Amino acid sequence: DACLERIAAVDDRISAYITVTADLARQQATDADRRIAAGDASPLTGVPMQIKDLLCTNGIATTCASRMLAEYIPVYDATAVARLREHGAVLLGKGNMDEFGMGSSTENSAFFPTRNPWDTGRVPGGSSGGSAAAVSAGAAPFALGTDTGGSIRQPASFCGVTGLKPTYGRVSRYGLVAYASSLDQVGPIARDAADCALILQSIAGHDSRDATSLPDAVPDYSAALTGDISGLRLGVPSEYFAEGMDAGVRAAVTAAIDQLAALGAEIREVSLPTTQYALACYYIIAPSECSANLARYDGVKYGYSHQGDGDMWEAMERTRQHGFGPEVKRRIMLGAFALSSGYYDAYYHKAQQVRTLIRQDFAHVFEEVDALAAPVSPVVAFPIGERTDDPVRMYLVDVYTLPVNMAGLPAMSVPCGFSNGLPVGLQLIGPHLSEDRLLNIAHTYQ
Ligand code: GLN
């Protein structure tokens, strides 16, 4: 009830929710009370949550913030959602986002933009902007977001909350509406690392319904929060402090790294030379996968369908013309071009080769250090409308988050102070399946 009241009090200013499931939440909370009384509770039983609208929820609209799926009601839960429900978490509603996860500011939602609770004239980041804004505004204790190139970490950093993008394959993608399948991951956005540990505990682990989900055992993440990081070798990649970053972001992140040193970490400067190619490489690979994944929205199988007098081809064309927003169309065109005969080798194949180099860069530095510390984004939350006319300027906001997805690594965004009164995020990056280590570094710092 407190969460529903809070949503009613703030969401007309923040617009973090596409759907609020108030009646269902009350019902689920009553069931949770019963479970607690019967001694059958987990730490998440009765804890309310928001779910990004890119994750399927049985019987509840899952729009992906697109006109294409505005009326779509799935008949099953995504695995991550189902696992949280099994633990007794209570669904408050579905989070606003950039259409199909494509964007960095939540301004690409087909319905309305979300506003940053710290300054409602500014964006909350994206694409999981509704999730980060809801947690930041107290309109959900935690949320599930998704991260293809930064969509958990960057909004978490812009809104001053903690976000974790797990190792690719750590959390099942079953029921996550696909954007770029080799990059997409589901993860928590919450107030701190201890909460993220509890949430990851319940959603991680193998799922036979996702062929890319990892079989590795899930460690006890809460037990890993020892508060001791003495002797930790922490690398600081020089390429992540390039020209053009806000001086306030640099100062806050540098101060956080000093603090980690004071807590016992041994700081080493390292180099990730292929960082400069990551943005170009991502914007070939992600749109290519997007163009294939979004081919399914043809007006026949599900979602919006344009019914006119013309033939099948016209129906398909009009469906996609009216159903998709401008950024989604741009990505589909970029991807279809990069994959087309004659250009495939020059663009897509080349990008895959560069992706291998990026992965190798990380593998080399992780021979020397246990984790990396860097900024999440070179900037803080920017004014609504500032970057909408210039896609490349929008893409640049994610320059420090994209490489992690190219390499499939886990990474976190941890609040580390302010620049001009707006939150700054410290990014912690680790080798594959080092979520327990990252959570402990974040917890020790917090
Ligand atoms: N901003 C990036 C993009 O638009 C990343 C989005 C995401 O992680 N879903 O593709």
ipTM field: 0.97
| Residue 48 located in a structural domain | yes
Q: Return the CATH number at 22.
A: 3.90.1300.10
CA of 40 to the centre of ligand 1 (A): 39
Q: Which of 104, 105, 151, 377 is catalytic?
A: 151
Residue 238 lies in a domain: no
Q: Do the domain assignments include residue 412?
A: no
Ligand 1 site residues (CB inside 6 A) read 101-104, 127, 147-151, 179, 286, 398
Of the residues 15, 127, 291, 377, only one is catalytic, namely 127
Sign of torsion, CA 446 168 99 202? Answer: negative
Strands 162-165 vs 411-419: parallel, antiparallel or unpaired: antiparallel
Q: Residue 309's pLDDT is what?
A: 85
- Annotated catalytic residue 52: yes
Structure tokens at 226: 């020892």
Full residue range of the structural domain in which residue 155 is found = 2-203
SS (H, E, C) 1-43: CHHHHHHHHHHHHHCCEEEECHHHHHHHHHHHHHHHHCCCCCC
Cis before 377 (ω within 30): no
Ligand 1 atom closest to residue 395's alpha carbon, by position in its atom list: 1
Q: For a ligand 1 pocket test, name from 105, 148, 288, 290 the mutation site with the most ligand atoms within 8 angstroms of its C-beta.
A: 148
How far, in Å, from the CA of 104 to the mean position of ligand 1?
6
Distance 423 CA to ligand 1 centre (A): 20
| Contact in structure between 235 and 428 (CB atoms under 8 Å) | no
**How far does the centroid of ligand 1 lie from the alpha carbon of residue 103, in Å?**
5
Dihedral of alpha carbons 385, 386, 391, 395, sign: negative
Residue 140 resides in a domain:
yes
Residue 127 annotated to the active site? yes
**Binning pLDDT at 50, 70 and 90, where does residue 20 land?**
very high
Number of domains forming the structure of the chain: 1
Q: At what angle do helices 435-445 and 247-262 cross, to 10 degrees?
A: 100
Average pLDDT over residues 94-105: 98
Gap from CA of 26 to ligand 1 centroid (Å): 33
Averaged pLDDT, 421-425: 98
* pLDDT interval class at 57 (50, 70, 90): very high
183 sits in which H/E element = none
pLDDT (tens digit, 9 = 90+) per residue, 146-157? 999 999 999 999
Tell me which residue has its CA closest to atom 5 in ligand 1: 149
pLDDT of residue 243: 83
Residue 408 lies in a domain: no
At 132 the pLDDT is 99
pLDDT digits (tens, 9 = 90+) for 134-185: 999 999 999 999 999 999 999 999 999 999 999 999 999 999 999 999 999 9
SS3 sequence of 261-286: HHCCCEEEEECCCCHHHHHHHHHHHH
User: Which string of b and e fits 62-81 if b means at least 16 CB within 10 Å?
Assistant: bbbbbbbbbebebeebbbbb
Rg (CA), the chain: 21
Q: Which residue lies with its CA nearest to atom 10 of ligand 1?
A: 102
Return the pLDDT at 302: 82
> Across the chain, which distance is largest between two alpha carbons, in Å?
71
At 9, list the tokens: 């009090």
**Is the pTM value of this prediction over 0.90?**
yes
| Mutational test site, ligand 1, from 55, 96, 98, 157, max ligand atoms within 8 Å of CB | 98
Give the number of the atom of ligand 1 that is nearest the alpha carbon of residue 402: 5
Q: Give the CA-trace dihedral at 28, 23, 124, 240, to 10 degrees.
A: 20
Q: Which residues pair with 95 in a beta bridge?
A: 17, 52
Over residues 244-285, the pLDDT tens digits come to 899 999 999 999 999 999 999 999 999 999 999 999 999 999
pLDDT higher than 90, residue 315: yes
Closest listed residue to residue 375, CA positions, set 232, 204, 203, 241: 241
Q: How far does residue 52's CA lie from ligand 1's centre (Å)?
A: 14
| Sequence-distant (≥ 6) Cβ neighbours of residue 154 within 8 angstroms | 104, 125, 126, 376, 377, 397, 398, 401, 413, 425
Contacts (Cβ under 8 Å, ≥6 apart) of 380: 158, 246, 248, 249, 419, 420, 422, 423, 424
Q: How confident is the model at residue 307 (pLDDT cuts 50, 70, 90)?
A: confident
